[in-house]
Amino acid sequence: MKTNKREWYNYILRDNGVVVYFGITKNPPDDEKEFYGVTGYKRVWGHLHNGKIFTSFTIDKCPRTREPAKELETERIRQYARSHNGKYPKYNKIFMTNKEKQSLEIVD
């Protein structure tokens, strides 16, 4: 029987204290300098190859299997949207159910 490895980590990127991305990774940085390049006064994390701009990041210390990590990422994004009038973090895109949109009073 194949066992699922707990090798996925949830993380949060912030730009000047504002959450800009919730994500998951199998390769958390061992040293934060490993992923930083300076662009003006901000830093760019090249891990996802899209140049997400941020000033700080937090990585959960508890590894998970992929599905629970993905579920936590989705829940964090939805919680953020609920507390920010339906707006998502700058770099996150997610589809909400009509019921969720109605609970936030979002009109397409």
* Top-confidence residue, 35 or 9: 9
Q: How far apart are CA 11 and CA 45, in angstroms?
A: 12
Over range 52-81, report the average pLDDT. 89
- Residue pair 70/24 in contact (Cβ under 8 Å)? The answer is yes
Q: What mean pLDDT do residues 101-108 have?
A: 52
Q: What is the mean pLDDT of residues 47-56?
A: 64
Q: Which amino acid is at 44?
A: V
Q: What is the mean pLDDT of the chain?
A: 75
Mean pLDDT of 98-105: 59
Confidence band (pLDDT; 50, 70, 90) for 33?
Answer: very low
More confident call, 1 vs 59: 59
Find out whether 24 and 73 touch, Cβ atoms under 8 Å. Answer: yes
pLDDT of residue 96: 59
Nearest to 43 by CA among 32, 54, 33, 59: 54
Residue 64 tokens, joined: 């998970």
Domain range summary for the chain, segments of one domain joined by +: 9-104
